Amino acid sequence: MQRSSVGYILLFAAVVSLVCGVLVSAAAVSLKDRQRANADLERKANVLVAAGLAAPGEDLGAAEVESRFAGVRAVVIDLETGADVPDADPAAFDQQKAKRDPVLGRAAPANDAGIKRVPRQAVVYRVLGDRGETRMVVLPIEGLGLWSTLYGFIALDADVDTVRGLTYYQHGETPGLGGEVDNPRWKALWPGRRAFGDGSEPVISVIKGSAGPVGEDPHHVDGLSGATITSRGVTSMLHFWLGDNGFGPLLERLRHESAERKAA
């Protein structure tokens, strides 16, 4: 077959495409474990930031992340009861995949956070004390902002009322406006705020304008300037996930645990 013939050119192109396809597939397979490990490391780093165990933007190596995460226990819980699911592996659990599954997920009740479906189970993170008690709980949250779904974590103290930190790790909000959810100065306004009022309904809100100091105005946080819809989105998703349709049953169980420890 002549090298200048159409048949030769087509054959050559087919062989090159096949070889390239094999190389790309092999690279994807070989990198899959590394990609999974990097994603797991990033998730742990974000949990540490929410819990105040790492500073926003702090450059942590893999060894340091693992060292600080040693006192954190990931647990799969049943959202309807708040109980641990002992036979579930949190490392293998995909919450986003679960909520889309017709069996593992369900339709969300009407809400202002734009949440359409929720998983029946979820992974939460317990920061443990020296005696194995829950010192803090870190919860995954998500909901609509202006342009995107925001994904993040909120950390609550052992009293499951005092906020220890809030962080978002993925969103598509406008830089300088709704994107200010990433601003360390705004994140620094959250520790010490109170998620609940006198009852078990979440009341913490991002308000328009400036909130008072933590001691005087514990249930409000400064609004994001020029990003009213994103601010409302943060409030709505916190009310959903901290309420009965989210982690409310878990938080009630943790309240009882805390009360029992104090009574002991």
Contact 148, 159 (CB under 8 A): no
pLDDT tens by residue, 180-198: 999 999 999 999 999 999 8
* pLDDT above 90 (res 12): no
* pLDDT above 90 (res 202): yes
The model's pTM: 0.85
Query: Three-class SS of residue 94?
Result: coil
Contact 152, 169 (CB under 8 A): yes
pLDDT tens by residue, 71-102: 999 999 999 999 999 899 999 999 999 999 99
Q: Residue 254, by phi and psi: left (phi above 0), alpha (psi -120 to 50) or beta?
A: alpha
Of the candidates 139, 118, 163, the one whose C-alpha atom is nearest the C-alpha of residue 72 is 139
* Rounded Cα distance, 219 and 167, in Å: 18
Q: Across the strands, what pairs with 73?
A: 126
* pLDDT above 70 (res 13): no
pLDDT tens by residue, 99-142: 999 999 999 999 999 999 999 999 999 999 888 888 999 999 99
Contact 255, 160 (CB under 8 A): yes
In the prediction, which pLDDT does 3 show? 55
Structure tokens at 153: 């974590």
Of the candidates 244, 164, 171, 163, the one whose C-alpha atom is nearest the C-alpha of residue 204 is 163
Alpha carbon dihedral 31, 100, 145, 138, in 10-degree steps, equals -70
